[in-house]
Structures are given as structure tokens and as C-alpha cells.
Amino acid sequence: MESTMKEPNPQDSAIEALGALAHDTRLSVFRMLVKAGPDGLVAGAIAQAANVPPSTMSHHLGILERAGLVESERESRLVHYRADYDGMRRLLTFLMQDCCQGAPEMCGELLGELDCKAWS
């Protein structure tokens, strides 16, 4: 039997991801998880660092997860969250795919501005 699920439209996915990030707490949490790397953080530590009640943080993390920007993994009673780097890559690729009207050297400076050590 053939699946009736369609591939998500890249523009629809980008809109959902950008909408999820268009909130102060969620943007801060996403950046926190990107900074934490592949190990991520447990939900309670995220809530504490963001100074947000755990139930409210669960709501925010759910929105980020549905938008394809965060992944979760349950380990006993703890839930670990990490940035979904593939989801972040898809969003950035969508935003940059038509960059510079076929002259990629115009966008070269953008990548040069990234200094992972300088991010805070």
C-alpha cells in the first residue's frame, strides 16, 4: 500500500520554523541548545536557565520540536533536548538557496562572519 503522506513543502517548513523562533524564549532556548552541542540539555536545566516554569518550557520545547528545530529523547524520568542540526540546516539552506542571483561569491562574506568561538 502506498503512503499518502507528502513531503513537506520547504516554504511551509521554513514558515513553521521561523514562527517557532519568533518568540524571545524559544529563540533563546534554541540558541542555548545549539551552544550545548550534540549532548543537549535536560528539560529541567533548560527551564531553570531560561527562568521559565517547567510546564511553560515544555510548551515551548514542543513548538520547537514540531518545527523540526529540536529533538528529544527520554531517558528514564528525564527528557534530553538537543538542537536538530538537520532541521537548522534545512532552514538555512532554504533561506540561502537563491542567494546572490547565481553569484555565490557575493554571499562568501556571510559565511566568513561566522566565528563559532565568538558566539555567546
Per-residue pLDDT of the chain (120 residues; tens, 9 = 90+): 555 566 778 899 999 999 999 999 999 999 999 999 999 999 999 999 999 999 999 999 999 999 999 999 998 999 999 999 999 999 988 888 777 776 767 776 766 666 655 444
Q: What is the pLDDT of residue 78?
A: 92
Identify whether 54 is part of a domain: yes
Q: What is the pLDDT of residue 11?
A: 92
Look at the chain and report how many structural domains it folds into: 1
- In which domain, by residue range, is 92 found? 10-118
Residue 85: C-alpha distances to residues 44, 76, 93 (Å):
22, 24, 12
114 inside domain: yes
Q: Is residue 112 part of a domain?
A: yes
The Cβ-side half-sphere exposure at 18, using a 13 Å CA radius, reads 10
